[in-house]
Amino acid sequence: MNLSFFDQFMSPYLLGIPLILISLLFPALLLPSPHNRWITNRISTLQSWFIYTITKQLMTPLNKKGHKWALILSSLMIFLLSINLLGLLPYTFTPTTQLSMNLALAFPLWLATLLTGLRNQPSASLGHLMPEGTPTPLIPALIMIETTSLLIRPLALGVRLTANLTAGHLLIQLISTATAVLFSIMPAISILTACVLLLLTILEVAVAMIQAYVFVLLLSLYLQENI
């Protein structure tokens, strides 16, 4: 029984071919394609407003040099948001519950922000490892601590996204299983559990949106330190 709860996090296969690539590409099919018409429909207008709001929110703390990252960060935000929300549908697979995928997204982007800072302002980037006014005896230990905290940033990004989505999916499956089992035994308790399941589902929708935003927001903050 315990194993069956975690089966939903296993990548599906068809004839030995992993279907995770299809689940990664499917959200792009849901977005309206651009066109040259002057008059657009409501979906295109809503999409443009949503992308503009996300880009403005992410780029406000950054200077003009950081605006070059607007396309990457906005695309990543929409990509994570689409995958997280589609993963809440029944009989679907959520790729962002895989730690390997989240690390594959976090590590290259974090490394790009770090290399950007080392290339443009190496003194300021290395200065983050030793705050001003540090006592001389504490300098070696503080440099080691700051270096460790810097290196675990991509791991923290990936683990945070994976843990929050995995915990939410497990809770939904546990409560839905309890609702189905209790329906024939204690209908009143089953109805109460179904209400809890509905509230939890709404909460998970919010968590899916927040975690996608936090992932990209932290990357933008890392970028802000290096430009």
Domain assignment of residue 148, yes or no: yes
Domain assignment of residue 192, yes or no: yes
Mean pLDDT of the chain: 82
Mean pLDDT is highest, among 14-23, 124-133, 146-155, 203-212, for 203-212
Length of the chain: 227
- What's residue 1's pLDDT? 46
Other CB atoms within 10 A of residue 219 CB? 25
Rounded to two decimals, what is the model's pTM?
Answer: 0.82
Domain assignment of residue 157, yes or no: yes
Q: How many domains does the chain have?
A: 1
Domain assignment of residue 4, yes or no: no
- Kindly tell me if the per-residue pLDDT of 158 is higher than 70: yes
Domain assignment of residue 77, yes or no: yes
Domain assignment of residue 176, yes or no: yes
Domain assignment of residue 10, yes or no: no
Q: Are 80 and 158 in contact (CB under 8 A)?
A: no
Structural domain that includes position 104: 18-29+41-226
Domain assignment of residue 13, yes or no: no
What's the burial of 202, exposed, middle or buried (CB within 10 Å: 0-12/13-18/19+)?
exposed
Beta bridge pairs of residue 18: 13
